[in-house]
Amino acid sequence: MFKQRIGETFHQGHCLDAHKYYGAHFDYESAPGVRFTTYAPNARNVQLVGSFNNWERPLNLERLSDGSWTVFVPDVAEWTLYKYKIEQADGNWVEKSDPYAFASELRPKSANLVVNLGNFPWRDQMWVNRREKYFDKPMNIYELHLGSWMKRDAHEWMNYEEIAHQLIPYVKEMGFTHIELMPLTEYPFDGSWGYQAHGYFSLTSRYGTPKQFMTFVDECHLNDIGIILDFVPVHFVKDNYGLRYFDGTPLYEYPNPHDANSQWDTLNFDLWKEEVRSFLLSSASFWLETYHVDGLRIDAVSNIIFWHGNKNNGTNDGATAFIRRLNYYLNVRYPGVIMMAEDSSDYPKVTHPTTEMGLGFDYKWDLGWMNDTLKYYSLDPVYRQFHHHQLTFSMAYFYSENFILPLSHDEVVHGKGTIINKLWGDYKQKFAQARNLYAYMFSHPGKKLNFMGNELAHFREFDENIEQDWFLLGYHTHHSFNRFFRDLSHIYKHHSCLSHHDYKHHGFKWIDADNASQSIYSYYREDEESVVIIILNMTPVSYESYRIGVPYKGSYTEIINTEKDIYDGCNMCNFEPLVSEKHEAHRFDNSILVRIAPFAGVYLEMKK
């Protein structure tokens, strides 16, 4: 009955459980052993080879009426290696990895392993039961590459359990709420960082076993840390042992070579094909169900929306139908799981419900905000008055989607320079403006995402072969910046007005958006508990008594200043509460006089 139900939904493109039928599964109904099943409708013959018989005497699989092939092998032990030998439609024989395998050999080897993913003693049920999408809560995401965040003896990969012991205390100390991991679906080339995968159900063996990764996720949840995985449903590697021409025909890729070949020298999934849709739906569901992952970040969404990611090529209607289906089904089955889009296009309704013909994502990366912000901060302050709109423009469109503000791995590779290296000025000025930049980021509406190293003020670009430059913390300036980042993260987490109304108009208000001549921005965030005034000075000019209009009369206390001495600043701060005066400014009846240091970012709070 289960097989019949899988078959019906699989061929209709609505299956989220194909991995429970296809792949290698322990079966004890008749005798102890493993059932191997794969889908290769155009193959002439499919055979199984493996370490269970020393890679000799291949076993023939039985062809089923729907194009599947299956065989039961008795007495197969866990961690047994296997592959398929396929006589393709043209008569050629090739060895292929199992598309539904749960584990694989470490590259450059390509055999799969039989593993049992059941019976793990999860302890995170309370977390899973109460997880949510964080629309009205702080979400501060730490994006990282698991193989180079920290290494054993600075050279060797740690396994998942070892990383947990180091990473979890650091993430908690730094005030992050979520960890986003670059892809862990098995992939052959280290330099692709996982974005060119072949094993869509296979956890990469680089860092250990599936049970070790379960331990990692479980420990994160017990420490109130969510896990988001990067997921790549657009394209896959061309390596011959993978999905490419699996049965001798374009089974997973588009039949038209122009559509099949991607800009990354990989192959695009044919997202019009129902069996491919079921394959990817099942893969996404697998990571959420099996590993208790809390969210998926879908890579290269613009290449789903438009043919080859180019708006001029037109909308790929079959692919957008797939992504709506993916988001709809995952939201129904896993209501608290987060789905986010890495999308550089201006396609509308990315985060609107599928019932409104939106794409159904919960969040979209605001890459426009990222580009405008980094361009502005790279300018000589003398010229910033002529580009004042680059920091105000985001609020003109912000409420059209549920945006995340990303300073991701894409911004610190390929000669682009790291975040601090992009900023204008000499060494000390770069640090002052980096603190200002993050004061801006953490007070702007929208959830936050930073790539590893941003919090250290990394000067070296990301390299997957080298661990983070942890030695930087031995230098006063970097240590002070790291402390600032930590303090700012905790202020963001514990002052609800900075996140509670991110996607509602009344949560953010400009005080003065138009002071281009002095390049000073002022605005406030508020909720039912408090209001926080934010002032950003984008020039090296200081002000001893700068008048700011305030929305309420009362006493305003400085809760963080980027120029405080503990952050290696000049210590020109507001050490006493600022009591408002009945003096009109910026269209408000009340105002305060504020000390503003060069390049300062100032937060002033008034409790309601």
Nearest C-alpha neighbor of 142 from the set 453, 530, 381, 371: 453
- How far is C-alpha 259 from the geometric centre of its chain's CA atoms? 26
The pLDDT of residue 5 is 59
Q: Which of 445, 464, 498 is the last residue of a domain?
A: 498
**Residue 383 has what pLDDT?**
97
For residue 433, tell me if it sits in a domain: yes
Integer CA distances (angstroms), 134 to 138, 177, 222, 362, 448, in order: 7, 10, 18, 10, 12
Confidence of residue 1 (pLDDT cuts 50, 70, 90): very low
Residue 387 covered by a domain: yes
Q: Are 578 and 604 in contact (CB under 8 A)?
A: yes
Q: Are residues 143 and 191 in the same domain?
A: yes
With contact defined as beta carbons under 8 Å apart, do 220 and 226 qualify?
A: yes
CA distances from 40 to 46, 64, 250, 344 (A): 8, 10, 11, 35
User: Quick one: 203 and 291 in the same domain?
Assistant: yes
Q: How far is CA 55 from CA 81, 82, 85, 95, 99, in A?
A: 9, 8, 11, 12, 19
pLDDT for the residue numbered 424: 97
**What CATH number has the domain bearing residue 577?**
2.60.40.1180
Residue with tokens 């990354």: 264
Mean pLDDT of the region 323-328: 98
Residues 309, 160 share a domain: no
pLDDT given for residue 309 in this prediction: 95
Core vs surface per residue 274-285: b (16+ CB within 10 A) or e: bbbbbbbbbbbb
Identify any residues that bridge with 604 across adjacent strands, giving them in sequence order: 533, 558
**Same domain membership, residue 177 and residue 285:** yes
What pLDDT shows up at residue 29? 72
Taking 70 as the threshold, does the pLDDT of residue 235 lie above it? yes
Structural tokens at position 63: 């062809």
Q: Per the domain annotation, does 406 fall within a domain? A: yes
Q: Which residues are catalytic?
A: 299, 342
Q: Is residue 70 part of a domain?
A: no
Statement to judge: residues 421 and 311 lie in one domain = no
| Average of per-residue pLDDT across 366-384 | 98
Residue 353 and residue 315 share a domain: yes
Q: Are residues 350 and 398 in the same domain?
A: no
Q: Are residues 310 and 277 in the same domain?
A: no
Q: Last residue of a domain, which of 340, 364, 388?
A: 364
Nearest to 143 by CA among 175, 180, 169: 180
Instruction: Report whether pLDDT(30) > 90.
Output: no
pLDDT in tens, 472-503: 999 999 999 999 999 999 999 999 999 999 99
Residue 226 has pLDDT above 90, yes or no: yes
Distance of alpha carbon 36 from alpha carbon 25, whole angstroms:
7
Domain annotation covers residue 160 = yes
- pLDDT at 4 (0 to 100): 59
What mean pLDDT value characterizes the chain? Answer: 96
Question: Domain total for the chain?
Answer: 3
Length of the chain: 608
Residue 488 β-bridge partners = none
pLDDT band at 2 (very low <50, low <70, confident <90, very high): very low
Domain of 468? 137-237+263-296+365-498
pTM of the model: 0.96
Residue 168 has pLDDT above 70, yes or no: yes
| pLDDT (average), residues 171-192 | 97
Q: What is the largest CA-CA distance in the chain?
A: 92
Region of residue 119 (left: phi > 0; alpha: psi -120 to 50; beta: else): left
Q: Which tokens sit at 373?
A: 């912000």
Q: Is the pLDDT of residue 139 over 60?
A: yes
Q: Is residue 43 part of a domain?
A: no
Residues 425-436 have a mean pLDDT of 97
pLDDT at 28: 76
Report pLDDT for 242: 97
Residue range 456-470, pLDDT digits in tens: 999 999 999 999 999
Whether the predicted pLDDT of 155 surpasses 90: no
Q: What is the predicted pLDDT for the residue at 3?
A: 59
Cβ atoms of 49 and 3 closer than 8 Å: no
Q: Which CATH number fits the domain that encloses residue 375?
A: 3.20.20.80
- Which long-range contacts (C-beta less than 8 Å, at least 24 apart) are formed by 526-530? 526/497, 526/501, 526/551, 527/496, 527/497, 527/500, 527/501, 528/608, 529/496, 529/497, 529/607, 529/608, 530/495, 530/496, 530/497, 530/605, 530/606, 530/607, 530/608
pLDDT at res. 8: 81
Does 526 have pLDDT greater than 60? yes
Q: What CA–CA distance (Å, rounded) separates 126 from 192?
A: 36
Averaged pLDDT, 56-74: 95
- Region 384-413 average pLDDT: 97
What tokens were used for 122? 């999860």
